[in-house]
Structure 1
Amino acid sequence: MKEYLASTMMLNFENPSIQQLIDRKGWRRLAERDRISHIYEFVRNDITFGYNQSDELTASEVLRDGYGQCNTKSTLLMALLRAVGIPCRIHGFYIDKRMQKGALTGIVYQFAPKKIVHAWTEVYFQGEWLALEGVIIDEPYLQQVKEKLYRFNNGYIGYGVAVEHPKDINVCWNGASTYIQSFSITDDLGIYASPDEFFSQFHNTDRFVKKLLFNILRKRINRQLDSLRKQNKNYVE
């Protein structure tokens, strides 16, 4: 289990901002189940759903941003879990980009690859590995979009969500795996000990022009997501 507890360049949980957060929250004093639960809920709801400049951000950079998507939230979640002695790893996939429609719009959606690199954190708890994919979407955002999903391959997708049925969504951690985008998985890319290892091989914006375009437009996208989250009448899909 040693490799699933180690710090890395991306899992930089020795960073003062991460250590101060853990001390302030008192997570180290909690029982193992509660450590996982409290950290999971923090990353799910205090770190809102949004698009960072890169999948390769360190955990402290994601914490500084205060928002993230599947890949960057996984990095922060892993760092916080390892910092309090909880073994975890990263599981990578490709997902159908149609799941992102509504969250990604216009030219950004058009230029997005057909298959998007996706990852979730797996935590070792009571002798088994559990998926924590449900951490991606914060509750206020989820409540606004789950009725906007559209039918696709006997499920429902859109706005960064892919589920069998909106009524069955349960992303609160209760000791079992949680899922929120898994219905759109197209390929399994395997399990890795760290995000550093995974993202050294797989990228969503591996071309300079695409990366530049995405970073020009992503702040506008994040404003749209915030507007939707707050039920802003000026939100435009």
Structure 2
Amino acid sequence: MKNYLKETHLLDYNHPKIQQLIAERKWAENDEFEIIKRIYNYVKNEIVFGYNSKDEFKASEILEQGYGQCNTKSTLLMALLRGVGIPTRIHGFLIDKTMQKGALVGLTYLIAPAKVSHTWVEVYYNSNWIALEGVIPDESYYNAVKDKLQKRDGGYYGYAIAVKDIRADNFCFVGKDTYSQSLAITDDVGIFDSPELFFEKYNNTPSPLKQFLFGKILSKRLNKRLQKIRNRKNEL
């Protein structure tokens, strides 16, 4: 279990900004359920859904940016939970990129791999490992897109969501697994102690050209679009 509490290069939970946040929110003063719930809700809704320019940001950097997707939100969520002494690990997958339609558009969708590298955090609670994938979409974004999801394969797909049930309370932590993209999983690539170990093997922008295009140009355009969606200012 010690491996699931370690600080790493990306899980830099002793960074002053992370320690300040933990102290200000007084998370450590609650019981274990409330700690997990409050940290989960913070990363879910106060770190809004958006596309970072790369996956390999430190938790402190994601905190400063204020937005994230599955892989970067996972890094921050892991760091905050480990920072208050709660064990976490990362579960890696590949997912069908078609579920990203609506969130990814144009050239960004075209250059994305057919199978996108994806992670969720698993937290050790009540003697079980619990999946926390539901942390990805913030509430305002989900409310803006839920009626636009397409029925498919026994669930609802689109806008970076793939779920069996579109009720918003299924994304809330109540001591059980939460999911937001799980129906799109094509490959389970295993459990990892840290994000670094996952990113060594799986990367969504492996070529320098794709890294440049996404990091410098496309991610900024995408996030402007997502904010419009969140504010319901476009026609989707």
TM-score range, shorter chain: over 0.9
Residue pair 1:161, 1:180 contacting (<8 A) in 2 also? yes
- Aligned counterparts, 1:38-49, within 5 A: 38-49=38-49
Shift of 1:165: 3.4
CA distance in 2, matches of 1:143, 1:169: 11
CA distance 1:39–1:167, shift in 2 (3 Å): closer
How many residue pairs are counted as aligned between the two chains?
235
The answer on 1:225 being equivalent to 2:226 is: yes
- 1:53 aligns to what SS in structure 2? coil
> How much has 1:212 moved relative to structure 2?
1.2
Q: Which residue of 1 aligns with 2:171?
A: 171
Q: Does 1:210 align with 2:189?
A: no
Q: C-alpha distance in 2, partners of 1:168/1:141?
A: 11
TM score, norm. by length of structure 2: 0.97
- Which SS does the other structure have where 2:116 is aligned? strand
SS across alignment from 2:130: strand
5 Å matches for 1:108-127?
Answer: 108-127=108-127
Give the structure 2 partner of residue 62 of structure 1.
62
Supply the distance in 2 between the matched residues of 1:148 and 1:161 (Cα, whole angstroms). 11
Change (3 A) 1:4 1:83: same
What is the rounded CA distance, in whole Å, between the counterparts of 2:149 and 2:160 in structure 1? 9
Determine the structure 1 residue equivalent to 2:21.
21
Q: Distance in 2 between matches of 1:151 and 1:117?
A: 23
Cα distance between partner residues in 1 of 2:120 and 2:89: 9
Q: Is the 8 A contact 1:135 1:171 kept in 2?
A: yes
Per the normalisation by structure 1, the TM-score is: 0.97
Secondary structure class of the residue paired with 2:156: strand
Partner amino acid, structure 1, of 2:104: L
| Equivalence for 2:190 | 190
* Superposition RMSD in Å: 1.1
Corresponding residue SS for 2:62: helix
**Aligned equivalents of 1:111 and 1:229: distance in 2?**
24
What residue number does 2:154 align with?
154
1:9 alignment partner, SS class:
coil
How far is the alpha carbon of 1:151 from its aligned partner? 2.3
- Matched residue, 1:132: 132
SS at match of 2:174: coil
Aligned to 2:218, the other structure's residue is in SS state helix
Structure-2 residue corresponding to 1:96: 96
Give structure 1 regions of 4+ aligned residues with deviation exceeding 3 angstroms: none
Structure 2 alignment gaps of length 5 or more: none
CA separation in 2, counterparts of 1:39 and 1:153?
A: 32
Query: Any idea what SS the aligned residue of 2:171 has?
Result: coil
The answer for the alignment partner of 1:35 in structure 2 is: 35
